[in-house]
């Protein structure tokens, strides 16, 4: 198999629960195509290939980048592999004991089942102290015996986690060798390879979840690779990570835990790129699906990363992931009046099956989508997705009257409007949580809705939160697939150092930074995708001596001529700046410590010209006009113009009230707002009279 020189096209593939979305960009001709095919749950390779075939012979494609939820689903549905754990004697239960938390603040019911059962967790005599001293060397024979026992019990993967291995990994490495000597298996890893960072539960959980996912993600990728090979595809095939960067399938096999938010991360990346190109680098993305609303903050074109994410109770992954705040408010969220007389929307959801009342699949409790249909905001005659002929407006209205209108003493229209307002308020709350509540001025940000439903609600978000405006991408439904195409290549690494800042040995820190930089650069360079350059980014996790939490301190140095030029004074100034941003006061006179070093390599992909997405030059307002229909805004019906969104020309200005329809999304422009088509085909929505 040879790499095809002709392959100029790059395809992004986002496999969701219902649909597989694809975005194919041909660099040579600067043209693109999109495709949407049903996902084939259980054997995603079928839908994956069917989608690729929409673009012609698969073997002719240049490269493929994939955003996947296979890891997320395996975690949420507990369908990972049978994995084993080898720990320091006395500590096999760390994984199950967690940090001694419980599920809810209020209420004591519910238990926890770890991903590795207790009879697959073995202990060996060994001990490293906090300062890195090996007090008891590991006995390779004992490790081999544990490995044999795991093989006998049917384990497919093994995680090795020793206490204080972040300070010295010698015992872990020796144990790793011992396991491999009796069990040649790619799915064996020790915690210092996965996360050489202090805190044993977080490190154990991350390493164990990685082992739990390795066989699943590995076989999934193998299946896709086989399918691609059988279609004579020989180009690079890459995976989107939770941090929004792309990695090779080799790295994904080694670190599958980094795919936990692969799908959603790709969407955020695309939204950030689209908005930045359009002149809006400060963005709040909002993905409204059937059961949830996912929000993420982008500042200055850069996504916000969280150091640690809890996938589900007790399942902690500590690796940088795009910070995505999820609330249980989606199109399928059920509206009801609680016993205290308060209207609630969600978190209970009718999902996509049976779905909203208007789908006619047996649900009789009203959802957010039902309210949108009753208010005329969604076109009942042309439902998105094409699976249903029309939506049942009457059934939706009756459900709203009965379940919301009557208890609150409101007529059905007022009740439907209240449902939308509550949902808007909850979405606004999520946006506020990631912006205002973290000290960001919402007046600087635009909302970028993507997925099917976000553009229905974006105007209310502008008003409720006081956003600068909104930007609706030209193809909201394939935003994640587009993100796969434009995402940079990225690799993150962390290392606990525990250095005192006073009298810092800057040369030693510099040497460490240079070494880490070389390692992460190699991973990115080895990914095999063309990049314009590789940037190295350093940050230090620091605190005052005595604190346990840290602040992330960006250190603005780069490696030049084998050195970073880092100094004690530079680090101190950076720490004080970061600390003051996070809290209102410094604590002069107290010692300061560098806990961990975070190093990231980013391989910048060649520039992607988003004007490729723009409407054709011959588009016109007349061709886009689709008449009018009544839509309910603020207590009364408004005669509202309807437009075919994709047929609008660049520069078109549509004043609200208006409804803009396209196959994969509906945009509602409220009275008092105006939507303008920019040169990329995005809709820019602002309050009338402001641009």
Partner 1 sequence: MTALDTLGDSILGTPAMPLARPLDPVTLAVLKGRLEQIVDEMDATLYRSAFNPIIAEARDACHGLYHAETGATLVQGGKGLPIFVGAMAFAVKAVIDKVAEEAAAGRAVLAPGDVFLFNDPYLGGTHLNDMRLVQPLFRQGRLFCWLASVGHWLDIGGNVPGGFNARATESFQEGVRIPPVRLARAGVIDEDIVAILAANSRVPVSNRGDLAGQLNALDLGEKRLNALLDDYGEATITAAFDAFTARAEALMRDAVAALPDGTFSFEDFLDNDGIVDTPLRIALDLTVAGDRMTLDFSRSSPPCRGPLNIARSTAVACCYVALKHVFPDVPANAGCLAPIDFVIPETTLLGVSAPKPVGGYTETILRVIGVVFGALARAVPERATAGPFGTINALSLAGHRDDGSRFVMFSFYGGGLGGNPESDGLNHANNPISTATIPPVEILEAAYPVMFTQWALRPDSAGAGRHRGGLGAVYEIEVLAKDGADVFLLGERGRFAPFGVGGGLPAALNRFSWQTDDGEASPPLASKVTDVAIRQGRWVRLETPGGGGFGLPHERPPALVARDVRLGYVGREAARALYGVALTEAGEIDAAATAKLREGAEA
Q: Which of residues 327-346 bind partner 1 (CB under 8 A)?
A: 338-344
In the list 222, 229, 507, 582, the residue contacting partner 1 (rule: CB under 8 A) is 582
326 touching partner 1, by CB under 8 A: no
CB of 125 to partner 1, least distance (A): 11
Angle value at C-alpha 668, between 664 and 671, nearest 5 degrees: 170
Cα 526 to Cα 180: distance, rounded to the nearest angstrom:
25
Q: CA-based Rg of the chain, rounded to a whole angstrom?
A: 27
Tell me whether residue 111 or residue 561 sits nearer to partner 1 (CB atom).
111
The site that binds partner 1 (CB under 8 A) totals a number of residues, namely 72
Tell me whether residue 104 or residue 533 sits nearer to partner 1 (CB atom).
104
Cα 210 to Cα 493: distance, rounded to the nearest angstrom:
15
Tell me whether residue 91 or residue 388 sits nearer to partner 1 (CB atom).
91
163 touching partner 1, by CB under 8 A: yes
Tell me whether residue 375 or residue 602 sits nearer to partner 1 (CB atom).
375
Nearest Cα to Cα of residue 199 among 282, 115, 307, 280: 307
Tell me whether residue 339 or residue 636 sits nearer to partner 1 (CB atom).
339
Nearest Cα to Cα of residue 75 among 258, 308, 325, 293: 258
Tell me whether residue 523 or residue 597 sits nearer to partner 1 (CB atom).
597
Cis-peptide, bond into residue 347, ω within 30° of zero: yes
Tell me whether residue 358 or residue 422 sits nearer to partner 1 (CB atom).
422
Tell me whether residue 407 or residue 672 sits nearer to partner 1 (CB atom).
407
Token pair, residue 62, equals: 């240049």
In the list 428, 446, 537, 669, the residue contacting partner 1 (rule: CB under 8 A) is 428
- Stretch 55-114 residues interacting with partner 1 (CB under 8 A): 89-94, 96-112
Among the residue ranges 196-204, 232-240, 603-611, 666-674, the one whose residues contact partner 1 (CB under 8 A): 196-204
Tell me whether residue 247 or residue 456 sits nearer to partner 1 (CB atom).
456
Tell me whether residue 460 or residue 529 sits nearer to partner 1 (CB atom).
460
577 touching partner 1, by CB under 8 A: no
CB of 350 to partner 1, least distance (A): 20
- Residue 655 forms beta bridges with which residues? 674
418 touching partner 1, by CB under 8 A: yes
CB of 205 to partner 1, least distance (A): 11
- Residue 316 forms beta bridges with which residues? 310
The answer to whether 245 and 488 are in contact (CB under 8 A) is: yes
End-to-end CA distance of the chain: 53
- Stretch 107-146 residues interacting with partner 1 (CB under 8 A): 107-112, 117-119, 127, 129-130, 135
Q: How many CB atoms lie within 10 A of CB 679?
A: 14
Tell me whether residue 135 or residue 390 sits nearer to partner 1 (CB atom).
135
The answer to whether 599 and 497 are in contact (CB under 8 A) is: no
DSSP 8-state class, residue 530: -
Give 555's Cβ-side CA count (13 Å radius): 29
Owner of token pair 């059988």: 230
- Stretch 235-274 residues interacting with partner 1 (CB under 8 A): none
CB of 549 to partner 1, least distance (A): 5
CB of 105 to partner 1, least distance (A): 5
Tell me whether residue 201 or residue 445 sits nearer to partner 1 (CB atom).
201
CB of 588 to partner 1, least distance (A): 11
Cα 501 to Cα 593: distance, rounded to the nearest angstrom:
5
Q: Is 457 helix (H, G, I), strand (E, B) or coil?
A: helix
- Stretch 199-228 residues interacting with partner 1 (CB under 8 A): 199-202
DSSP 8-state class, residue 93: T
User: At a CB cut-off of 8 Å and minimum separation 6, what does 667 contact?
Assistant: 455, 456, 458, 472, 645, 659, 660, 661, 675, 683, 685
CB of 419 to partner 1, least distance (A): 9
461 touching partner 1, by CB under 8 A: no
Nearest Cα to Cα of residue 545 among 506, 494, 498: 498
Handedness of CA 432, 437, 438, 442 (dihedral sign): positive
Q: Is 116 helix (H, G, I), strand (E, B) or coil?
A: coil
184 touching partner 1, by CB under 8 A: no
User: At a CB cut-off of 8 Å and minimum separation 6, what does 193 contact?
Assistant: 176
The answer to whether 13 and 64 are in contact (CB under 8 A) is: yes
- Stretch 395-414 residues interacting with partner 1 (CB under 8 A): 407-408
x/- site string to partner 1, residues 356 to 395, per CB under 8 A? ----------------------------------------
- Stretch 434-453 residues interacting with partner 1 (CB under 8 A): 436-437
CB of 584 to partner 1, least distance (A): 5
CB of 337 to partner 1, least distance (A): 8
Tell me whether residue 335 or residue 358 sits nearer to partner 1 (CB atom).
335
Cα 320 to Cα 550: distance, rounded to the nearest angstrom:
15
421 touching partner 1, by CB under 8 A: yes
DSSP 8-state class, residue 386: S
The pairing of strands 237-240 and 63-67 is parallel
Among the residue ranges 227-235, 424-432, 660-668, 683-691, the one whose residues contact partner 1 (CB under 8 A): 424-432
Cα 456 to Cα 424: distance, rounded to the nearest angstrom:
10
Tell me whether residue 409 or residue 689 sits nearer to partner 1 (CB atom).
409
CB of 116 to partner 1, least distance (A): 11
Q: Is 25 helix (H, G, I), strand (E, B) or coil?
A: strand
CB of 632 to partner 1, least distance (A): 15
Token pair, residue 262, equals: 């692969």
- Stretch 463-522 residues interacting with partner 1 (CB under 8 A): 464, 498
Owner of token pair 């144990």: 175
CB of 198 to partner 1, least distance (A): 5
Cα 71 to Cα 152: distance, rounded to the nearest angstrom:
26
Q: Is 602 helix (H, G, I), strand (E, B) or coil?
A: strand
Tell me whether residue 338 or residue 622 sits nearer to partner 1 (CB atom).
338
The answer to whether 163 and 136 are in contact (CB under 8 A) is: no
User: What Å distances lie between residue 9 and 62, 99, 486, CA to CA?
Assistant: 5, 48, 12
412 phi and psi angles, rounded to 5 deg: -60, -35
154 touching partner 1, by CB under 8 A: no
Looking at 583-639, list the stretches that DSSP marks H as alpha helix, in order from N- to C-terminal side. 621-624
Among the residue ranges 230-238, 388-396, 418-426, 471-479, the one whose residues contact partner 1 (CB under 8 A): 418-426
- Stretch 536-575 residues interacting with partner 1 (CB under 8 A): 544, 546-549, 551
Tell me whether residue 338 or residue 618 sits nearer to partner 1 (CB atom).
338
């Amino acid at each position: 198999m040879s790499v095809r020189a002709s392959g100029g096209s790059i395809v992004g593939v986002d496999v969701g629960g219902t649909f597989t979305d694809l975005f194919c960009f041909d660099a040579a001709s600067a043209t693109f195509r999109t495709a949407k095919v049903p996902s084939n749950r259980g054997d995603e390779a079928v839908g994956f290939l069917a989608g690729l075939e929409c673009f012609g012979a698969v073997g002719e494609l240049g490269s493929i980048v994939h955003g996947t939820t296979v890891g997320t689903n395996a975690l949420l549905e507990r369908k990972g592999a049978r994995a084993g754990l080898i720990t320091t004697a006395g500590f096999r239960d760390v994984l199950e004991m967690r940090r001694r938390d419980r599920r809810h603040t209020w209420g004591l019911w519910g238990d926890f089942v770890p991903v590795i059962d207790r009879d697959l967790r073995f202990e060996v005599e060994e001990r490293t102290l906090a300062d890195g001293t090996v007090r008891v060397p590991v006995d390779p024979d004992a490790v081999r015996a544990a490995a044999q026992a795991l093989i006998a019990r049917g384990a497919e993967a093994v995680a090795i986690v020793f206490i204080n291995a972040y300070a010295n990994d010698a015992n872990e490495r020796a144990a790793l060798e011992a396991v491999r000597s009796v069990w040649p298996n790619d799915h064996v890893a020790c915690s210092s390879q996965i996360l050489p960072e202090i805190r044993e539960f977080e490190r154990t959980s991350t390493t164990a979840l990685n082992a739990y996912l390795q066989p699943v993600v590995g076989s999934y990728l193998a299946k896709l690779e086989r399918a691609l090979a059988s279609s004579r595809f020989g180009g690079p095939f890459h995976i989107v990570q939770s941090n929004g960067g792309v990695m090779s399938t080799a790295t994904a096999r080694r670190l599958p835990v980094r795919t936990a938010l692969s799908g959603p991360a790709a969407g955020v990346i695309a939204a950030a790129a689209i908005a930045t190109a359009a002149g809006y680098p400060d963005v709040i993305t909002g993905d409204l699906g059937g059961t949830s609303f996912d929000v993420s903050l982008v500042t200055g074109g850069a996504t916000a990363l969280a150091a640690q994410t809890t996938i589900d109770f007790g399942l902690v992954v500590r690796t940088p992931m795009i910070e995505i705040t999820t609330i249980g408010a989606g199109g399928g969220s059920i509206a009801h009046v609680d016993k205290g007389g308060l209207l609630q929307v969600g978190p209970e959801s009718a999902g996509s099956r049976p779905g909203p009342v208007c789908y006619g699949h047996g649900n009789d409790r009203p959802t957010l989508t039902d309210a949108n249909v009753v208010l005329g905001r969604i076109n009942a005659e042309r439902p998105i997705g094409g699976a249903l002929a029309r939506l049942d407006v009457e059934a939706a209205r009756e459900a709203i009257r009965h379940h919301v209108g009557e208890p609150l003493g409101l007529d059905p229209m007022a009740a439907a409007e209240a449902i939308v307002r509550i949902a808007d308020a909850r979405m606004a709350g999520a946006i506020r949580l990631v912006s205002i509540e973290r000290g960001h001025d919402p007046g600087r940000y635009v909302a970028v809705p993507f997925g099917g439903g976000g553009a229905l609600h974006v105007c209310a978000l502008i008003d409720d939160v006081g956003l600068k405006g909104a930007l609706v991408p030209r193809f909201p439904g394939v935003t994640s697939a587009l993100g796969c195409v434009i995402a940079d290549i990225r690799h993150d690494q962390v290392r606990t150092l525990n250095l005192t800042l006073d009298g810092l040995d800057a040369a030693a820190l510099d040497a460490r930074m240079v070494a880490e930089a070389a390692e992460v650069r190699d991973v990115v360079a080895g990914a095999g995708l063309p990049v314009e350059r590789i940037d190295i980014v350093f940050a230090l996790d620091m605190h005052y001596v005595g604190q346990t939490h840290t602040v992330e301190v960006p250190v603005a140095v780069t490696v030049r001529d084998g050195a970073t030029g880092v100094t004690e004074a530079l680090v101190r100034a950076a720490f004080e700046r970061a600390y003051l941003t996070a809290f209102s006061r410094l604590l002069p006179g107290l010692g300061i410590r560098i806990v961990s070093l975070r190093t990231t390599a980013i391989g910048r992909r060649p520039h992607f010209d988003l004007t490729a997405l723009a409407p054709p030059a011959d588009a016109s307002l007349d061709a886009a006009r689709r008449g009018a229909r009544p839509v309910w805004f603020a207590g009364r019906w408004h005669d509202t113009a309807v437009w075919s969104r994709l047929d609008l020309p660049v520069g078109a200005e549509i004043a609200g009230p208006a409804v803009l329809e396209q196959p994969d999304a509906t945009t509602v422009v409220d009275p008092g707002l105006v939507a303008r088509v920019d040169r990329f085909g995005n809709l820019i929505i602002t309050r009338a009279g402001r641009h």
